[in-house]
Structure 1
Amino acid sequence: MRTPEISLILATVGRTDELARLFESLAAQTFSNFEVIVVDQNDDDRLLPHLDRARYLGVAVRHLRHRPANLAAARNVGIEAARGRWIGFPDDDCWYSPRLLEHVAARYGAGDKPAGIIVRWVEQNEQPLSPADLSWERSRAFRDVPVSSITLFCERKLFKDIGGFDARLGVGQWFGAGEETDFVMRALRAGALFTYEPLGEVHHAVNPQKPVATPTTKLAVRHRARGTGALYAKHQLPLWVILRGLAAPLLRPVLKGTFGAELALGYATMRGRIDGLLGWRRTHQS
């Protein structure tokens, strides 16, 4: 069996049917030299029929188990097991355009030899249509190309050089998001070249409905926002960046004249960022 060029780390818990769309999109890739490492955080065998279906479609799948559920830690387990030179991180409810891996392979084969490639999340509609390199200066001001784990491909060597994802951040943790942003910021500070490749396209459905400020929703928003607050403290971002980040969730709805659910969720975001900022300083700094 040939060594894969790309390893895709799929950390999953709870979902089953959504995997069918992802595996079908992987089977349709024009670039075939890749493996999928499924890091299963379930406590049952619900994934097995879906993994069998993926293998039937011709996808090279390896199955690992990891408990307790922790997205960042599960991805680190997958990274340790990966054999590919490059590593990507699809979500269990995303799917790839047919030429995505082909474009990633072409880009990392270019002369500038990037250590990381960011592809375009089609539905997000916040990323430019032209290529660009990322920089620490823009990223520390949160003014760079938006990065989500589904858009991120990194050279495996980079994880050995700077470490994997910070398991204190992300889904399943008190600081409920930010692990991929933290990793990219650490890489840029270390001098790694990260570049944006808009020809590579990944899909992930977004909810087009207006926000509803239920107690559960506000709690979830606050929980995720703690990850951003943790980044403020962990990377010692400038005061003006922190103040802007705390004010913006409230100012946006006020300036638009939307004082209902959007303002309530903006307030939850601000409170979560303060939680994360103070919580990180209290628990992770001497």
Structure 2
Amino acid sequence: MPGISVVVCVYTEDRWADILAAVASVRAQSRPALETLLVVDHNPVLRERLGREYEDDPSVRVVANAGPRGLSAGRNTGIAEARGEVVAFLDDDAVAGPGWLRHFAEAYGDPRVMAVGGRTEPAWASGRRPAWFPEEFDWVVGCTYRGLPPGRVRVRNVLGGNASFRRTAFDAAGGFATGIGRDGGRRPLGCEETELCIRLTRALPGAVLLIDDRAVVRHRVPAARERFGYFRTRTYAEGLSKALVARSVGADKGLESERRYAARVLPAGVARGLGDAVRGRPGGAGRAGAIVAGALVTAAGYLAGTVRARRGGGRFVIPPSPVAAAKGDGPSGKGAA
């Protein structure tokens, strides 16, 4: 069983209670973590407060993001600092089930496995899923969506808030690209883990990437993200991010899973919603409408991102291996897209 370092990227004191809950869930694992790394994104006040909170716990280390502001650079900092053979990532507003790391570790018994993700369930602030919110779009709130296969299955990419990688994967592919994904800006961008996973399987054609739905985390969904306005903003941002990924790795690979999702999962969801509406079940028509709207807005974001990229906008940087960089022997990063 490999030693696993858990990286939790944090950035705001507004999530103080969430951060403590995330760390507590790692402490409660049936298969203990080697260490927990709290990577603080350019917030000295929060870093000092966390340092005081965990000063008597040698299993928790608090470090500052050594790169530019944003989630990708924070994760790269965590990778460079980690001592485990495997590096797992948990969102700062999520709590892991007690068997989370055990299921990850079991999958790495196969030396071909380079990444393992799990199932992320929404914890709605209102206590229940909004009637209009389709499960096919749970990725909007950082959760596992309807359409992913059950069990332990091979996938193109894992989802970043509930994922793990062998450290050697970063030696082969480099780190998370900066300039893509969350950076504290107004738009909730994403897809940095998708781009990395595609890059990884290109660097290591025999690599196996898995999702094991027994490795469960619960992700808090605040009230603001239960509203259609956030749904619209997030789907548009996803389209922008997909355009960056497609430009980096090619549309064939960058949109491979998305084409199946759009062709099979979404039409089935619309039919299901309309069927519920006919039967008088609450929210059926709203879910069908949200699926159509989400697909159209995501496509609009993708088109806008493609135009922007062709005009020279939307650049991001693929960094060298954070592991190699920590040792002082990594090459310089390469520009992309």
Instruction: Specify the TM-score bucket, using the shorter chain as the normaliser.
Output: 0.7 to 0.9
Name the CA distance, whole Å, in 1 between partners of 2:170 and 2:290: 40
C-alpha deviations, 1:90-136, integer Å up to 9, x for none? 1100111112112222221x2444111122224435343322223xx
Counterpart secondary structure, 1:160: helix
Moved more, 7-16 or 273-282: 273-282
Which of 228, 235, 259 does residue 242 from structure 2 map onto?
Answer: 228
Q: Does 1:170 align with 2:199?
A: no
Residue in structure 1 matched with residue 130 of structure 2 by the alignment:
none
Question: Aligned in 2, Cα 1:129/1:253: closer, same or farther, shift over 3 Å?
Answer: closer
Structure 2 counterpart of 1:204, which letter?
H
Name the CA distance, whole Å, in 2 between partners of 1:48 and 1:57: 15
| Alignment size in residue pairs | 271
Name the CA distance, whole Å, in 2 between partners of 1:166 and 1:243: 24
Q: Does 1:274 align with 2:303?
A: yes
Question: Aligned in 2, Cα 1:188/1:53: closer, same or farther, shift over 3 Å?
Answer: same
C-alpha deviations, 1:74-99, integer Å up to 9, x for none? 21122122221111111100111112
Deviation at 1:219?
A: 4.0
1:11·1:71 contact (CA, 8 Å) conserved in 2?
A: yes
Name the CA distance, whole Å, in 2 between partners of 1:278 and 1:243: 20
Residue in structure 1 matched with residue 3 of structure 2 by the alignment:
5
Residue in structure 2 matched with residue 183 of structure 1 by the alignment:
196
Residue in structure 2 matched with residue 203 of structure 1 by the alignment:
218
1:246·1:273 contact (CA, 8 Å) conserved in 2?
A: no
Residue in structure 1 matched with residue 119 of structure 2 by the alignment:
120
Counterpart secondary structure, 1:149: coil
Structure 2-normalised TM-score? 0.67
Name the CA distance, whole Å, in 2 between partners of 1:130 and 1:217: 28
Residue in structure 2 matched with residue 90 of structure 1 by the alignment:
90
1:178·1:227 contact (CA, 8 Å) conserved in 2?
A: yes
Counterpart secondary structure, 1:17: helix
Residue in structure 1 matched with residue 134 of structure 2 by the alignment:
none
Q: Pairwise mapping of residues 34-183 of structure 1 onto structure 2 (< 5 A)?
A: 34-54=34-54, 59-66=59-66, 68-108=68-108, 110-123=109-122, 124=144, 126=146, 127-134=148-155, 139=156, 147-172=158-183, 176-183=189-196
Counterpart secondary structure, 2:92: coil
Name the CA distance, whole Å, in 1 between partners of 2:20 and 2:105: 24
Deviation at 1:181?
A: 0.8
Name the CA distance, whole Å, in 1 between partners of 2:262 and 2:211: 28
Counterpart secondary structure, 2:190: coil
Deviation at 1:246?
A: 8.4
Could you tell me which runs of 5 or more consecutive residues in structure 1 were left unpaired when the two chains were aligned: 140-145
2:6·2:33 contact (CA, 8 Å) conserved in 1?
A: no
Structure 2 counterpart of 1:119, which letter?
G
Structure 1-normalised TM-score? 0.77
Question: Aligned in 2, Cα 1:68/1:121: closer, same or farther, shift over 3 Å?
Answer: same
Counterpart secondary structure, 1:31: coil
Name the CA distance, whole Å, in 2 between partners of 1:83 and 1:165: 18
1:115·1:194 contact (CA, 8 Å) conserved in 2?
A: yes
Counterpart secondary structure, 1:161: helix
Residue in structure 1 matched with residue 208 of structure 2 by the alignment:
193
Give me the identity figure in percent.
22
Q: CA RMSD in A?
A: 3.6
